[in-house]
């Protein structure tokens, strides 16, 4: 998430009321999670296990809960609770904005686009040309939709990330300030839920088709010309490359890469990154040929046991 304009390190420290290490006028241009940070961004870290990863990331400002030596050309924000203060920054730069009507005045709707009754289109949404948005679709603030997109009833674009910190008093939610971006010629079935990024974009690229009842987690990127069948669940920060086929009830763990041209057979559990142009089945998933060989060998077990008697 980039700020509307650059802020100084001192200005950011004032917003969250914390110490800083570095020049007061050190420029800060945005904030992001570690997997999408770019120079000028703030990243937060609150566990020693991840200190080195954050300090050596592309981020130039690290919001951290311990005084450490700042790497060259980087600055620090010292906080007793980086998670809380990252949320403060999200509230400051992306506050919730109440929508005064079902289609917000700030929404941009392209020529030839049809929005059926009872659909909701939030603030600063952009919808391209010749789209069809069916009844009871909810498109939350800042979503971007390209041309020739069809979205069926009951689908929600832009829900919050499922991201919580476990505290003694209960679960503390990490606020979401990102977007959903849908490119051209995408079809989305009924009752799908596509969560916005925490700070970046959840993206579905050109030509991809989604069936009904699909969950897409925060910051996930789905490539071009993918085909995804019903009841698929995709966790946050997954990258699915181009031309991947996913059959019904497949589940994906967070943070993995599904390589181009892969086929995920029904009910597969994808727990690690995959190979290009490879078919997977089973839970946990493995290459289909290997799985079939394994099953064939298992079928021989009764005969082998009988011979041992």
- Please state, in angstroms and as integers, the Cα–Cα distance from residue 74 to each residue in 20, 68, 123, following that order: 11, 12, 35
What tokens does 178 get?
Answer: 């990102």
Which of 133, 131, 108, 107 lies closest to 118 in space, CA to CA?
A: 133
Considering only the C-alpha atoms of the chain, give the largest distance between any 2 of them, rounded to a whole number of Å.
Answer: 82
- Please state, in angstroms and as integers, the Cα–Cα distance from residue 76 to each residue in 27, 60, 82, 186, following that order: 12, 8, 11, 42
CA distance linking residue 286 with residue 272, whole number of Å: 10
- From 7, 134, 152, 218, the catalytic residue: 218
Residues 175, 192, 123, CA angle at the centre, nearest 5°? 50
Which residues lie below 8 Å from residue 80, measured CB to CB, with a gap of 6+? Answer: 65
Map residue 249 onto helix, strand or coil: coil
Instruction: Establish whether 218 is a catalytic residue.
Output: yes
Would you please indicate which residues are annotated as catalytic (active-site) residues?
Answer: 218
């Amino acid at each position: 998430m980039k700020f509307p304009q650059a802020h100084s390190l001192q200005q950011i420290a004032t917003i969250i009321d914390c110490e800083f290490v570095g020049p007061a006028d050190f420029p800060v241009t945005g904030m992001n999670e570690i997997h999408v940070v770019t120079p000028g961004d703030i990243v937060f870290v609150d566990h020693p296990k991840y200190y080195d990863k954050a300090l050596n990331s592309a981020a130039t400002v690290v919001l951290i809960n311990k005084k450490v030596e700042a790497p060259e050309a980087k600055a620090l924000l010292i906080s007793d609770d980086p998670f809380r203060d990252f949320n403060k920054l999200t509230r400051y730069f992306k506050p919730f904005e109440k929508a005064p009507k079902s289609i917000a005045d700030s929404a941009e709707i392209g020529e030839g686009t049809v929005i059926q009754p009872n659909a909701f289109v939030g603030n600063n949404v952009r919808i391209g040309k010749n789209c069809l948005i069916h009844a009871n679709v909810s498109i939350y603030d800042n979503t971007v939709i390209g041309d020739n997109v069809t979205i069926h009833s009951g689908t929600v674009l832009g829900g919050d990330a499922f991201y919580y910190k476990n505290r003694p008093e209960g679960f503390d939610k990490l606020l979401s300030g990102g977007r959903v971006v849908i490119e051209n010629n995408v079809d989305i079935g009924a009752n799908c839920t596509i969560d916005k990024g925490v700070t970046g974009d959840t993206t579905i690229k050109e030509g991809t088709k989604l069936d009904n009842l699909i969950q897409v987690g925060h910051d996930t990127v789905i490539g071009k010309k993918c085909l995804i069948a019903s009841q698929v669940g995709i966790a946050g920060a997954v990258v699915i490359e181009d031309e991947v086929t996913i059959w019904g009830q497949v589940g994906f763990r967070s943070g993995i890469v599904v390589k181009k041209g892969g086929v995920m057979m029904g009910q597969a559990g994808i727990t690690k990154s995959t190979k290009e142009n490879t078919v997977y089945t089973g839970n946990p998933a493995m290459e289909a040929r290997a799985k079939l060989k394994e099953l064939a060998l298992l079928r021989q077990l009764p005969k082998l046991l009988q011979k041992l008697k």
